[in-house]
Amino acid sequence: MNYTAEAPAVWDPSFAGADDCLLTSDQCVVRGQHHFVKGLIEIPVIGGDDVFSWGVWVSLSRENFARAADRWDTPGRENEEPYFGWLTTDLPVYSPTTLNLKTRVHTRPVGERPYVELEPTDHPLAVEQRTGITQDRVREIAVAVLHSGSGEER
């Protein structure tokens, strides 16, 4: 019930090993200028207690990234105000693109990925986050993602 992107859309494998670039399972820096955190867009599954999650990357300002990084292992970090960010993962089953949708990143307790709240627009992903999806839609997403090779099932 979870698919995840390995890196932000702007990441290039040639960045690996560069002094001003970093890619971990939770954080990314590109050329010392662009800063990203990984979080979850959670979508309720209608008719049950299940939640479908997209593991996505969100760009943060340098200041917010530094603040989040400073508190990454600090108990109580979930009391932080949400950080504004831009979605930097292109999810293959949505049109128009999901790139650059406005988000709010909510920090959770240590060891838990942040929750990514989309701006409440009429974009299909934002609508699904607000209203939920059916089990049939979960299967449709699974088939589309597995056939596109653009995500890893978790």
Prediction pTM value: 0.93
pLDDT for res 147: 79
Q: Report the distance separating Cα 28 and Cα 43, nearest Å.
A: 24
Q: What is the pLDDT of residues 15-42, one digit of tens each?
A: 999 999 999 999 999 999 999 999 999 9
pLDDT band at 150 (very low <50, low <70, confident <90, very high): low
Q: Is the pLDDT of residue 154 over 70?
A: no
**Number of domain units in the chain:** 1
123-to-17, 96, 106 alpha-carbon distances in Å:
36, 8, 20
Q: Is the pLDDT of residue 148 over 90?
A: no
By the 8 A CB rule, do 33 and 58 touch? no
* High-pLDDT (> 90) share of the chain, %: 90
By the 8 A CB rule, do 65 and 26 touch? no
- Mean pLDDT value across the chain: 94
Domain interval for residue 129 = 2-153
Q: What is the pLDDT of residues 80-135, one digit of tens each?
A: 999 999 999 999 899 999 999 999 999 999 999 999 999 999 999 999 999 999 99
Six-digit token string for 65: 């990234």
pLDDT for res 60: 98
Label each residue of 23-90 as H, E or C: ECCCEEEECCCEEEEEEEEEEEECCCCCEEEEEEEEEECHHHHHHHHHCCCCCCHHHCCCEEEEECCC
The conformation of residue 5, written as its DSSP 8-state character, comes to: -
Alpha-carbon torsion angle 125, 89, 149, 137, nearest 10 = -10
